[in-house]
A = this chain, B = another copy of it.
């Protein structure tokens, strides 16, 4: 790898001059500029980012902390962040925290040791205090922490109400809810939306609520149990993966979906279109959320004023076969 000194030597100028043409700052003679550029070309010189970072204390790198990339909700989010960050010439360090506060803190330290310019956080485990102590620009994605931090979230509460209401509209009266883990704020908000809508419809019954963990297996088990012990004609699952679990349970009991029991999920991940029947769901604009968080972070890093820092994106009901009754 050629260094700036090699370029300087070849062009017959000082390193300072090379640096000036590289960063387009300061004055430099057109002629010498040309010579320098030639030398750079010739040696295929690429500036050493590490040295640059050490001096400037900015690395053109950001950290992205997600619970678990294997959870099908996150790949698209991660992809969006990467795409946008690339446009602005940032590199992305990916960290899986498994929702563990300890791991998150560790990663934050590691990221800071590398002078990352910013962090996108998808987490619930850290307290507001802990997060605001991070002296690096932070954007919170998908999971609201506090109004003092820029964040991008979808309207979980409304989405849940819409889903519940939709089941009611197609004729369901005993609507169960499989909720996500209680330590995930999203899951709680979805539950709240479900509860409030059910109360408003005069259908609320706490017996109809079952605890899931956002994974298929447990959701299938609780649904199996629910369908066998209670009369249920609709299921609102806290995410699409659990909706698939519910679907499998219904199919195992030879129930017709949607006529015996209608099912709706949440997230609109690609999976929801792959089942049979295809799953109705509440669509979150996953890619947009990631892209928006990335753009917000860039703005924060570059010190631009952020006109609006709390973004709550609208969600949309997607009706598919699993709630299309004859």
Hey, which bits of chain A sit against chain B, CB under 8 A?
1, 46-51, 53-54, 59, 61, 68-72, 74-76, 78-79, 82-83, 91-96, 109-110, 112-115, 216, 244, 247-248, 251, 270-271, 273-276
Of chain B, the residue at the smallest CB distance from A215 is B270
| Additional 16 contacts, C-beta under 8 A, given A61-B93, A92-B93 | A46-B112, A48-B54, A48-B115, A49-B114, A50-B54, A69-B69, A71-B75, A74-B75, A78-B94, A83-B96, A91-B93, A248-B274, A248-B276, A271-B271, A274-B274, A275-B275
Determine the distance from Cα of A216 to Cα of B273 in the docked complex, in whole angstroms.
Answer: 10
User: Which single residue of chain B is at the shortest CB-CB distance from A245?
Assistant: B274
The 10 A-B pairs at the shortest CB distance, nearest first, are namely: A49-B113, A94-B94, A70-B75, A69-B75, A70-B79, A244-B274, A50-B54, A49-B114, A50-B53, A70-B76
Interface contact A110-B93, CB-CB below 8 Å? no
Q: How far is the CA of A75 from the CA of B109 in the complex (A)?
A: 24
Return the contact of A69 from the options B51, B53, B78, B114 (Cβ within 8 A): B78
Once the chains bind, are B112 and A1 in contact (CB under 8 Å)?
A: yes
CA distance A76 to B94 in the complex (A): 14
| Alpha-carbon gap, A83 to B91, bound state (A) | 20
Q: Do A93 and B93 have beta carbons less than 8 Å apart?
A: yes
Residues from chain B with a CB closer than 8 A to the CB of A1 are: 112
A271 to chain B, nearest CB (A): 6
**Which chain B residues lie closer than 8 Å to A247 at the CB level?**
276
A113 with B251: CB separation less than 8 A? no
Nearest neighbor of A252 in chain B, beta-carbon distance: B276
A110 touches B91 (CB 8 A): yes
Pairs across A and B, CB under 8 Å, 30 listed: A1-B112, A46-B109, A46-B112, A49-B110, A49-B113, A49-B114, A50-B50, A50-B53, A50-B114, A50-B115, A61-B93, A69-B78, A70-B75, A70-B79, A72-B75, A72-B270, A74-B75, A75-B75, A82-B95, A82-B96, A91-B95, A91-B114, A93-B94, A94-B94, A248-B274, A251-B276, A271-B274, A274-B275, A275-B276, A276-B276
